[in-house]
A and B are shown apart, each in its own frame.
Chain A
Amino acid sequence: MIEFINVSKTYRTGTHALHNFSLNIDRGEFVFVVGPSGAGKSTFIKLMMREEKPTEGEIYVNGQNLVKMRRRKVPYFRRTLGVVFQDFRLIPYMNVYDNVAFAMRVTNVRRREIRERVPYILKLVGLEGKSKSLPEHLSGGEQQRVALARALVNNPPLIIADEPTGNIDPELSFEIVDLLSEINKCGTTIVMVTHEHNLVSEFNHRVIMIEEGSVVSDNRNGRYSAE
């Protein structure tokens, strides 16, 4: 599902973000990616989304070679991903319904399909009563659930979550990860980048630790150590 082979990334500013980074994530896995800030977690996400290209190495995501991918193919590739960000990234002037529907509209699906699918997804994340609200009128936890609904709406095989709990209360954080775990049980691969150790130890998922641009530990039972 996701394969990084000897990937290195050096930005134009000279920052070496990843060195010789390799990992393999299979279909249906739930993986936490942890590490201190500056370890290369954001670069890892950007490379997976094809926002950046690696300086060296090969990357395959959802069966696509991201290094060789042409730019005009990128939007179509991104429709096979669901992405959730720390800062929610909702479009401020669109209400909850339109924010979720937007991810479907870009794919040119029929309006009827959108009208059926969006309320269903909103119900799934527990926001059925909020479809007309604007993002600014929602709490952080609710906004993140909208973002999650948007990530789920096209039924992608892979969900990438970049610090999805970074801006919400600890109790709600647990709920979000719980929701992701439920989604994972239906077969969706989940890659979640986080630095919240407590949260990681609550769930029994694979944990990959990154430091200074390389994988330093890869543990399948939800435990990890810096050593």
Chain B
Amino acid sequence: MSFGSFMYLFKEGFKNVWVNRLMSFASIGTLMACMLLIGGSLLLSLNVNTIIGSVEQQNEAVVYPNDEITDEEIRELDTQISLIENVTDVIFIDKDQLLAETMAKGDELAKAMEGLPLGEDNPLQNTFRLRLKDQALAVETKSELESLDHVAEVYIQLDLAETITSIKRAVSLSGFTIVAILVVVSLVIIANTIKVTVFNRRKEINIMKSVGATSAFIRMPFLIEGFFIGLMSALMAFGLLWLGYNYIMLAISTSRTGWIKTAYENMLTFRQIALQMFIYFSAGGIGIGVFGSMFFMNKYLKV
């Protein structure tokens, strides 16, 4: 194919978007709607996951060492606890510190604990506070902690860990299922749209064939058209999603309800995922536009 022909076909491709503007509009609309749905669901499930992740982080475990433990042994135990794979953020709080901390929590607590002695006679317990990286491994981690020397008691909210784990699993699974269903439905709808577009133009393809155009020559403008339509849809879906997402974020950010506030703090900002989203959208849109039309054209190119 000569450069002159290439330029001619390139121009034809762009011209065709306008000439077939009704179908172009329908295709862009369909592709865009599909991408919006998939993108929206993806954002939703990603956010639910991070919010649950933040709840997970708040589930604290506590390890009480024996009363007889020496300072030396406390340091040793601290390292041993920190060495456990699933454990993070280990903090040691001695009983005097704990007393002060507890009294600072409120007047009533302060009153109740007034006069308690410090040092040896302090009735409170030395405490290790720590977090679990993965709540799903809570039971295993608990027994690992219990097996360490000088450990009297390990306290982990196993039921909470279990709940969080199952919620996380359910969210991931349903998010994945919804996105997968949307992808399949989108592909079917898009395939049909492309099929209709190509079908509408089968005569034109046939005419080109009958005057001796090669398949490559006929395909070229369709390819350019598919590329352009895919790219347009991706750009528009991306822009709309960005606007919509920021609008929702803005609405949430002004809420005074506590849990919504916490959720907001943990939500992803659009910038964090913008590049990835943009790449997926463009690749998906252009890929579908180009390969979809090539695929469905074949049938009409065989004459």
Q: Residue of A at shortest CB range from B20?
A: A93
Q: Residue of B at shortest CB range from A81?
A: B212
Q: A residues near B, CB below 8 A?
A: 49, 51, 71-72, 75-79, 81, 83, 85, 89-93, 102-103, 105-108, 110-111, 150
Determine the distance from Cα of A85 to Cα of B206 in the docked complex, in whole angstroms: 12
Also in contact, A103 and B4, with CB within 8 A (given A51-B303, A91-B207, A93-B19): no
Determine the distance from Cα of A105 to Cα of B6 in the docked complex, in whole angstroms: 11
Also in contact, A89 and B203, with CB within 8 A (given A105-B8, A108-B1, A110-B4): yes
Is B143 part of the binding interface, using a Cβ–Cβ cutoff of 8 Å? no
- Min distance, Cβ A11 to any Cβ of chain B, angstroms: 14
- Across-interface contacts of B215 in A (CB, < 8 A): 75
Is B217 part of the binding interface, using a Cβ–Cβ cutoff of 8 Å? yes
Inter-chain contact B210/A106, CB cutoff 8 Å = no
The residue from B2, B16, B302 contacting A108, defined by CB atoms under 8 A apart: B2
Inter-chain contact B210/A76, CB cutoff 8 Å = no
Q: Residue of A at shortest CB range from B15?
A: A93
Also in contact, A108 and B5, with CB within 8 A (given A89-B203, A91-B207): yes
* Chain B interface SS verdict (over half): helix
- Min distance, Cβ A103 to any Cβ of chain B, angstroms: 4
Q: B residues near A, CB below 8 A?
A: 1-2, 4-5, 8, 15-16, 19, 203-204, 206-215, 217, 302-303
Inter-chain contact B19/A103, CB cutoff 8 Å = no
- Min distance, Cβ A50 to any Cβ of chain B, angstroms: 9
Determine the distance from Cα of A14 to Cα of B41 in the docked complex, in whole angstroms: 52
Determine the distance from Cα of A51 to Cα of B207 in the docked complex, in whole angstroms: 12
The residue from B1, B4, B210, B217 contacting A89, defined by CB atoms under 8 A apart: B210
Task: Please provide the 8 A-B residue pairs with the shortest distance between their CB atoms, ordered closest to farther.
Answer: A79-B212, A78-B212, A106-B213, A93-B19, A103-B211, A75-B214, A89-B207, A75-B212
Inter-chain contact B211/A102, CB cutoff 8 Å = yes
Inter-chain contact A91/B204, CB cutoff 8 Å = yes
Inter-chain contact B211/A150, CB cutoff 8 Å = yes
Q: Give me 30 A-to-B residue pairs in the complex whose CB atoms sit less than 8 angstroms apart, sorted by A's number.
A: A49-B210, A51-B210, A71-B302, A72-B214, A75-B214, A75-B217, A77-B212, A78-B209, A78-B210, A78-B212, A79-B211, A83-B211, A85-B210, A89-B203, A89-B206, A90-B207, A91-B204, A91-B207, A93-B15, A93-B16, A102-B213, A105-B5, A106-B208, A106-B213, A106-B214, A106-B217, A108-B2, A108-B4, A108-B5, A150-B211
Q: Residue of B at shortest CB range from A92?
A: B204
Determine the distance from Cα of A71 to Cα of B207 in the docked complex, in whole angstroms: 17
Inter-chain contact B212/A106, CB cutoff 8 Å = yes
- Across-interface contacts of A107 in B (CB, < 8 A): 212
Identify 16 new A-B residue pairs, CB closer than 8 A, beyond the known A78-B212, A105-B8, A111-B4: A51-B210, A71-B302, A75-B212, A75-B217, A78-B211, A79-B211, A91-B204, A91-B207, A92-B204, A93-B15, A93-B19, A102-B211, A102-B213, A105-B5, A106-B213, A108-B1
Also in contact, A106 and B1, with CB within 8 A (given A89-B203, A91-B204, A93-B19): no
